[in-house]
Copies of this chain bind each other. A is one copy, B any other.
Amino acid sequence: MTNDMMVADEGRGEAGTGTLGKAIAVLEAVVTADGPQRFTDILARSGQPRGTLHRLLSHLVEEGLLIQRRDLSYEPGLRLLTLAYRSWSANRFRDVAEPHLQRLHELTGETVHLGILRETEIVYVDKVESRQTVRMSSQIGKASPAYCTGIGKAALSLLAQPVLKHVLARTAFHPFTSHTHRSAATLLAEVEEIRRDGHAFDCEEHEAEIRCVAAPIAIPGSELAAGISVTGPAYRVSMEQLVAWAAPVREAARAIAEEAAIRLGPGRGGP
């Protein structure tokens, strides 16, 4: 047992939580793969011994978290979708934020996102878009690196210095575009600015030709850092435009935080 340093390891699929951790790691291995996975594929991916893996997979199938096809390969099961649906539709924070996102969309005409920081990533929890294709909602649940997205950097600015350092230590600075931060050093400086200004920009750091302006929201009652953003294509949204939108974005974030504080309650005499 290696539970002494349980703070240290959790980022990827390795077990920190005994049996459950292994099972979820295997589940994730199947879910993140692109296509049905045969037993041997998962064996290689997960590093578990044959016997163990076989039992783990049967259990996951029995629970409806995986489905076994006729050719014996494994696919994600429907139970995951149902569990996620329930937790999404019961998410009170998203519920509070939604009208504010809508308003921001009407003001700007561009796409508005709500995201929450989880480890080193931003998970998108809601989205309001102009031309709504069926695809659009697919974004919900998507995770992007925090260090190169507007909401991500905004959310990072809420963290206490030691926590922030810890997150950055676990971040892999992948150079998505020529504007992407290459190291913690430059990012730390920017986060300091963001903390002062109350808003963050993303100038094609994650995707070329995509810009956004974001503001942080501390979710009352939990330790979570969240944020909202207005995003648009570079050809349509100038930097001047983004700067002009910063104030309304900050104001929406403030309003959400305030309303959430009332509706989700402070819980107890917390900080």
Q: Of A21-29, A179-187, A195-203, which stretch is located at the interface? A: A21-29
Q: Which of B67, B85, B101, B116 contacts A222 (CB 8 A)?
A: B67
A224 to B77, CA, bound (A): 11
Q: Which of B23, B56, B222 contacts A70 (CB 8 A)?
A: B222
Give A57-68 as 1s and 0s: 1 = Cβ < 8 Å from B's Cβ atoms: 001101111011
Using known A-B contacts A85-B142, A224-B67, determine if residue A20 contacts B17 with beta carbons closer than 8 Å: no
Interface assignment of A148: CB less than 8 Å from any CB of chain B: no
Using known A-B contacts A20-B20, A32-B86, determine if residue A125 contacts B271 with beta carbons closer than 8 Å: no
Within 8 A of B (CB), among A58-95: 59-60, 62-65, 67-71, 73, 75-92
Using known A-B contacts A62-B6, A62-B17, A90-B76, determine if residue A85 contacts B141 with beta carbons closer than 8 Å: yes
- Would A71 and B118 count as touching, CB distance under 8 A? no
Interface assignment of A123: CB less than 8 Å from any CB of chain B: yes
Give A116-151 as 1s and 0s: 1 = Cβ < 8 Å from B's Cβ atoms: 101100010111100010101110111100000000
- Would B71 and A81 count as touching, CB distance under 8 A? no
A interface residues (Cβ-Cβ under 8 A, vs B): 6, 10, 14, 16-21, 23-24, 27-28, 31-32, 34-36, 56, 59-60, 62-65, 67-71, 73, 75-92, 98, 101-102, 116, 118-119, 123, 125-128, 132, 134, 136-138, 140-143, 221-224, 266-271
30 intermolecular pairs with C-beta atoms under 8 Å apart: A10-B62, A17-B59, A17-B63, A18-B19, A20-B20, A20-B56, A20-B60, A23-B23, A27-B83, A31-B87, A36-B269, A70-B221, A70-B223, A73-B267, A73-B269, A76-B83, A78-B116, A78-B125, A79-B118, A80-B83, A80-B87, A81-B88, A81-B125, A82-B123, A82-B143, A84-B85, A84-B141, A85-B143, A101-B134, A136-B137
